[in-house]
Amino acid sequence: MLIEDPILHIGVDIATKRDTSAVAAVYKHPFRNQYHLWGCKIFTPPVNIHKTVVELLIKLLETERIAQIQYDPYQFASEAQRLADAGYDRLVREVNQQTEMVEFANTLDAHIKNGTLLLYNDPILRSHFSWAAAQNTERGWRIIKRRQSRQIDAVVAIAMALSGATADVGYLNHPVYNEENHSRSLVGVP
């Protein structure tokens, strides 16, 4: 059961030349112990980060309740700075995929095994999951590609967003948050 006006956690995995890029939004259902994929946009190369990814993020920031945007700084640092300069600095969180990917992978694995992550049926999204694999390291699981020529960016973006949603922080400080527009009446609560 989808809800209206959810609090979204966004993961951004960026590439510019050969690999795809992905933006995924996940939210926690307010009455159930479930996490839902609200949406996932996959960009095929070559990717103009500013004209595609950032425009999408700004549209989401202006129209949805966003708790946090997590990103890997490798390709996205300058764009994250632009978002911070636009007043979204409290929502933009740099993550280090080398060290935090274990947490992302373990969170994703736990929710898939428990059936608490609900995805929608999409063949491209399914292909990203089919080409992803888990590699056991001394720190835990890590998401890797089965083949270097295949894309798994949606899986990484979803894992980043899911990790943010399980922490569930940040949305009350959102600069666009407006209590009149985003609060729900108790009349509509089941």
- DSSP letter for each residue of 100-161: HHHHHHHHHHHHHHHT-EE----HHHHHHHHTEEEEEETTEEEEEESSTTS--HHHHHHHHH
Instruction: Tell me how far apart the terminal alpha carbons of the chain are, to the nearest angstrom.
Output: 13
CATH of 7-172 given 3.10.580.10, 3.30.420.240, 2.30.30.60, 1.10.3720.10? 3.30.420.240
For tokens 């992803």, name the residue.
132
Query: What residues form DSSP beta bridges with 144?
Result: 133
Mean pLDDT of 44-56: 89
Question: Which SS3 state, helix, strand or coil, does residue 48 take?
Answer: coil
Residue 1 is predicted with a pLDDT of 54
Could you tell me how many residues make up the chain?
A: 190
For tokens 């609060």, name the residue.
183
Non-local CB neighbours of 93 within 8 Å, separated by 6+ positions? 68, 69, 70, 71, 164
Residue 92 is predicted with a pLDDT of 92
pLDDT digits (tens, 9 = 90+) for 3-42: 788 999 999 998 767 788 999 999 998 888 899 999 999 9
pLDDT digits (tens, 9 = 90+) for 87-134: 998 899 998 877 788 889 989 989 999 999 999 999 999 999 998 888
Are 105 and 112 spatial neighbours (Cβ–Cβ below 8 Å)? no
Mean pLDDT of 66-77: 88
pLDDT, the chain, mean: 83
The residue ranges of every structural domain in the chain are 7-172
Residue 190 is predicted with a pLDDT of 41
pTM: 0.83
